Amino acid sequence: MARAGASNFFIADARSTGTFGSSPSTERGYNVHLGTHPKENKVIYCSGKNVVVRSIDDPSDCFVYRGHNAATTVAKFAPNGYWVCSADSSGKIMVWSWDNPEHIVKYEGILMAGKITDLEWGPESKKITVAGDGGGGLSCKTIMWDSGNAVGEMIGHTANVLSIAYKPSRPYRVLSAGEDNAVIMYNGPPFRQAHTSRDHSNYVQCVRFAPDGKTAASVSNDKKIIFYDAKEGTVTGTIDNAHAGSIYSCSWSPDSTMLATSSADKKVKVWNVETKEAVAEFTDGTDLTNMKVGVVYKEDKIISLSLGGDITVWQVGQDAPLVVFQGHQTPIVAAAVDSESGTIFTGSSDGVCCYWNAGVGSKFGGQIPRSITGAIHGGRVAGMAFTASGVVSAGYDDTIRFADLGSHAYGESTGTTGQPIGIDAVGPSSDTFALVTSEGIFVHQGTACAAHLENLGYEALCVAMNGAGDTVAVGAKNMNIYIYSFDGSSLTQTNMVSGHRGEVSSLAFSPCGGFLAAGDSYKEVRVHKTEDWSIKIQGRWVFHTSRVTCLSWSPNGINLASGSNDTKVIIWNLKKTLKKKELNYVHMGGVNDVAYLDENTLVTVGNDQCVCTWNLAEE
């Protein structure tokens, strides 16, 4: 079935100045099949429900395709470079144009009863072979790319198939490998089972044909590499104990003389196929997060993927990696910015905190307990703020952590009373910030708590602190806003603003401190005057179709950006209250935070695990 391209499948807005892609999705014990463009210096992989294409030379050159409704599993470019086939956990594939700016969908259809684990294009870019959880023994299938018509019945496996490969030269063959420890060869087309090898003693994770079409290789959890005659499927050689752990992936060099393998022993090895000797070995750590679950050759470079989501580019003859791509693997829920340096700080639902410069993401370090993903917090990041002392983040591990921008590492930390809900700081000129938790309000000056107020009598949902550092506003589930004064050592309630028709879900003081913007679950944004807490704007900014999740004022205090679960960001104008700009389909699944980097640049983050930047200058 063909379908025209839709704007929500990718960001096509001319105001978009950058999309910083997320890291590949990984699962311990399973491989990740990476792909590369046959002509361009790009790598393609799956992340969440997205397909991400990134330039190896320029990490900020990133394209994110968002056409799937289920978690994506594998994506590959056609040999001619014009098309991409991507698959997901529902068993669906989509074939869409790469060279066409509209990225038109040529075909989509359900090929498997469950998750598709691997796919490959035929050398003529006309056929696609897929593998996965087919049910009833039908775990492999080859189709015509434009119609979906099957090209033979490919049976023989008794468990899920983990990898599949298409021979790049005549006579055509397909190899499949899976959890039944078997490697099966199919002759065709139409493809029929021709030969079965059971020389592996554990799950066969990956199988690949050499580019010259003469040899094939398979790797397994049994730490063994097996080579096959590409025409007959018979075993021609073996490397036992090639790694100290399970081998998850393999990839051939363009000249078919070398084979790269990645393993749970945290190493990537390069093997001379003729001598069966390792000629190079790469590693970047010994932690669990450094397990290598994917590898692919791109010309003379080797691209590996770690369990923690890091993409590393290596070159034989050099011990240090050429470049490392880092980012988030789960929804990004918090953001902060340093306007002076242009640095963006982000935190995600798995506790990972990153910093971004010119589109290049890196994870914060620190000598603290870390997860497989390299998380700073032991749970969801509740909020982030930029202060004079550096970056402050609060997490669901009931901890506030402080990062030094010089070392890009977290050091000091302090516990919280109750689970953190939100955080807001005075700004880069002060180390004062306000934190609201399930138990109360806390104002910190650096690591020290200067004032706190507990037993509030309502459920707090968000917090904001003005630029003078003397006023704290708290939005509540009971649809009220509570105003507190801070004198340096104590908090005192001075007012309560009522009238919202939904839970107050987001707050933001204007830079001058004269206004407080509030967004609610009733999809409305209101603006209150702080001099007497009267209404400035009410009943006009009502164009969101779901809960307002975040707010940010422009530095001049004229424009206000609001983000929502409706995937939309709206830019309101305080002087021209009926004027607005809309950014549609900003983040699929919802916008979680927005922040102005400068007068015309807006940063947004959301459930699609991406960071986006936008140019909002007047046209």
| Segment 299-330, tens digit of pLDDT | 999 999 999 999 999 999 998 999 999 999 99
Residue 43, CB-side half-sphere exposure with 13 Å CA sphere: 30
| Measured distance CA(81)–CA(593) in Å, rounded | 36
Task: For residue 231, name the pLDDT band (cuts at 50, 70, 90).
Answer: very high
**Dihedral sign for Cα atoms in the order 596, 598, 602, 603:** negative
Task: For residue 60, name the pLDDT band (cuts at 50, 70, 90).
Answer: confident
Quick one: pLDDT at residue 244? 98
**Is 571:293 a contact under the CB 8 Å cutoff?**
no
pLDDT at 82 over 80: yes
1-110: CATH topology is Methylamine Dehydrogenase; Chain H (2.130.10)
Q: What is the mean pLDDT of the chain?
A: 95
**Is 481:475 a contact under the CB 8 Å cutoff?**
yes
When comparing pLDDT for 585 and 60, which is higher?
585
At 466-499, the pLDDT tens digits run 999 999 999 999 999 999 999 999 999 999 999 9
Quick one: pLDDT at residue 299? 95
Q: Which of 7, 3, 22 is nearest to 94 (CA)?
A: 3
Neighbours of 358 (CB within 10 A): 11
- Percentage of residues in the chain with pLDDT exceeding 70? 98
Tokens matching residue 3: 């379908």
Quick one: pLDDT at residue 6? 42
- Expressed in angstroms, the distance from the first to the final Cα of the chain is 39
Tokens matching residue 383: 């909020």
Task: For residue 5, name the pLDDT band (cuts at 50, 70, 90).
Answer: very low
In the chain, how long is the greatest CA-to-CA distance?
Answer: 84
| Measured distance CA(163)–CA(32) in Å, rounded | 10
| Measured distance CA(248)–CA(441) in Å, rounded | 49
Tokens matching residue 171: 């006579």
The residue count for the chain: 619
Tokens matching residue 180: 């039944």
16-20, 74-78, 135-139, 607-611 — which is least confidently predicted?
135-139
Per-residue DSSP letters for 318-333? -SS-SEEE---SS-EE
Quick one: pLDDT at residue 297? 98
Q: Which of 250, 203, 246, 255 is nearest to 228 (CA)?
A: 250
When comparing pLDDT for 86 and 618, which is higher?
86
| Measured distance CA(174)–CA(483) in Å, rounded | 68
- Percentage of residues in the chain with pLDDT exceeding 90? 93
pLDDT at 517 over 50: yes
According to DSSP, residue 3 is labeled B
| Measured distance CA(525)–CA(359) in Å, rounded | 31
When comparing pLDDT for 97 and 136, which is higher?
97
pLDDT at 7 over 80: no
pLDDT at 619 over 80: no
Task: For residue 369, name the pLDDT band (cuts at 50, 70, 90).
Answer: low
Ranges of each domain in the chain: 1-110
Tokens matching residue 418: 């109750």
Q: Which of 178, 103, 187, 101 is nearest to 138 (CA)?
A: 178
Rounded mean pLDDT of 413-440?
97
**Whole-Å CA distances, 369 to 266, 330, 352, 379:** 20, 19, 12, 12
Rounded mean pLDDT of 219-246?
98
Residue that is written with structure tokens 């109360």 in the block: 440
How wide is the angle at C-alpha 483 spanned by C-alphas 348 and 508, nearest 5°?
A: 40
Task: For residue 370, name the pLDDT band (cuts at 50, 70, 90).
Answer: low
Tokens matching residue 501: 């028709």
What is the separation of C-alpha 408 from the centre of its chain, rounded to a whole number of angstroms?
A: 21
Task: For residue 1, name the pLDDT band (cuts at 50, 70, 90).
Answer: very low
pLDDT at 53 over 80: yes
**Is 119:164 a contact under the CB 8 Å cutoff?**
yes
| Measured distance CA(145)–CA(82) in Å, rounded | 12
pLDDT at 577 over 90: yes
Rounded mean pLDDT of 543-548?
98
When comparing pLDDT for 119 and 373, which is higher?
119
Rounded mean pLDDT of 216-230?
98
pLDDT at 212 over 90: yes
**Is 209:176 a contact under the CB 8 Å cutoff?**
no
pLDDT at 533 over 90: yes
| Measured distance CA(417)–CA(451) in Å, rounded | 13
Residue 576 CB partners (closer than 8 Å, separation 6+): none
Rounded mean pLDDT of 495-504?
98
Quick one: pLDDT at residue 598? 97
Rounded mean pLDDT of 13-30?
95
**Is 235:197 a contact under the CB 8 Å cutoff?**
yes
Task: For residue 4, name the pLDDT band (cuts at 50, 70, 90).
Answer: very low
Quick one: pLDDT at residue 618? 75
